[in-house]
Chain A
Amino acid sequence: MSRGRAADRLLALAVWVSVLAVAAVFFWILGSLLWSGMGRVTWAFLTTAPRDAGRAGGIGPILVSTLLILGVCMAVSLPLGLGAAVLLSEFAEAGSLFGRAVRRSLDVLAGVPSIVFGLFGTALFCQALGLGYSIFAGGLTLACMVLPILIRATEEGFRSAPSEYRRAAAALGMSRASALWHVLLPAAAPGLLVGLVLGMGRALAETAALLFTSGYVDRMPESLLDSARALSIHIYDLSMNVTGGDPNACATAVVLVALLLAVNGLAAWMTGRWLSRRVLPA
């Protein structure tokens, strides 16, 4: 009995100590970032162009480039992902070979390292399709990357639409296309939105896949075929390649983390609302 109690104490001690240590380290990381970066994040920092290789000035053009890359990524992955999710959840017979093959390959895609996406993007989009280092190439590379997340969440949304909806639509003689458009899509919209937001989070956080697809140029982009620098690349470049760039890198990191927190918080809030609605009789 006393041996059991000693083991109990030991395990409890190990769990508490490791959790406290880990929490302390993470608060240290977040705290030190906020402490040294927060003071520099001003309206001027967010809107002016970087000067002196980024040591001075702000991140205005970089924010714009990030949003453009994100826009291209979402504009391409959203229709493609939506179509794939509709097929997988509504039209692929359970256990059909095609459906299973697509699912399996999306699972593998979700695990592919981002640097490999970068290699692929540079070979296909920059060279084979002749886009060069550009916002387009970066956005398309990210679109490939976020597809698995987007498709999984959207499928979840369609799966949660009650099957009575489908039967009622069929009984009314609606075509499957109009049933999809008028009945199922509105019912599945929350899942689609969650997928969209999660995908945006993944795309915002990405660095390695953009290194040699969208490039380093820190000027304000004039077209989607211009090379442009994303926030994450800016942090990397300032801290590794520019001596004296650390303070602005830190401020940029604060901006990036704040954006990601907002995006992930939005996703969590939407999932929560959606789940609480689903508890009601369907």
Chain B
Amino acid sequence: MSPSSKDRLLVWVLRACAGLSGAIVLLIAVFLVLESLPALRNVGFARFFSDPSWHPARYAADGAYNLAPMLAGTLLAMAGAVALATPLGFCAALFCHFYAPPGLARACRRLIELLAGIPSVVYGFWGLVTLVPLLNKVQPPGASLLAGILILALMILPTIALMADGALANVPAEYLRGAAALGLSRSATIVGVVFPAAKSGLFTGVILETGRAAGETMALLMVCGNVVQVPKSLFDPMRTLTANIALEMGYALGDHRSALFVSGLVLLALIVALAAAAEWLSKGRVYE
């Protein structure tokens, strides 16, 4: 084999690898759509929001397929966790950059990296054995939207902090020196100079973590109580879309199974929309 034909073979092998890796997303979309089709055909899209309840059955005519309470559960837990974790994560990043002495800042970053690596099932386990009993003392049953929000916030906090840390590190040093030369106080520098300059990086991080919060399964499955209902208060149990898939996939058949793939498809659409938003935001950088 001459060297050039060997090269050509190599390039084709590499192209096949890259093509296959790139095609996985398409494969996922295709398989989700294919498996959702029976439910979309037999149940119809409208019934996923208008049916009286979620009592799925093997044949569409026998069941009720309202996904709305679980979609609400996913969105509520996501919104609560992001609202709680964002300011705390930003504070942790500010701490590492502007407040902590260098040694402490390094230790703090290490700790955050360590926490970002703890698996969700471990956070869920801690929530189940420690947090839920505590909340149960305040207001039974304990397993609730609030427990879900707290655990989810803890889970996404380290990554928000790491991304905010990266965004703050990208603020040009001249800006900080300029602010110091103008005699700005530290809080005025942070609010008036650092945040605007790091805006797009901070937003991108938050949006990516919003996606992770929407897709989180195990922790929410373990602490939310899994009752299918729109929670009326923070202390009501509820079920998310992801938990619903994890709970019912094992025994679901026919249109029920297919309906679970529909909820997967809804999740995927939500994530793709968030990723597009993050992409669009990170293009509008204020500095550079």
Contacts and interface: CB of A to CB of B under 8 A. Distances in A.
A188 interface: no
Interface residues of A, number: 86
Interface stretch (A38-46, A66-74, A118-126): A118-126
Interface of chain B, helix or strand or loop or mixed? helix
A232 to B, nearest CB: 5
Interface of B: 3-4, 6-7, 10-11, 13-28, 31-32, 34-35, 87-88, 91-92, 94-95, 99, 108, 111, 113-115, 117-126, 128-130, 154, 157, 185-188, 190-191, 208, 211-212, 214-218, 221-222, 242, 245-246, 249-250, 260-261, 264, 267-268, 271-272, 274-275, 279
B31 A22 contact: no
Given A87-B14, A116-B32, A175 B126 contact: no
A159 B115 CA distance: 29
Interface string A19-60: 101110110110011000000000000000000000000000
27 contacts: A15-B94, A16-B95, A19-B92, A19-B108, A29-B123, A82-B17, A83-B16, A84-B14, A101-B22, A106-B21, A108-B271, A111-B274, A113-B211, A113-B242, A113-B271, A115-B215, A151-B21, A175-B7, A205-B120, A205-B121, A212-B249, A232-B121, A236-B218, A240-B128, A256-B122, A264-B113, A268-B113
Contacts of B264: 115-116, 119
| Residue from A111, A206, A253 with most neighbouring chain B CB atoms (10 Å) | A111
Given A23-B111, A102-B19, A253 B242 contact: no
Given A4-B188, A123-B261, A232-B121, A175 B24 contact: no
A123 B117 contact: no
Interface of chain A, helix or strand or loop or mixed? helix
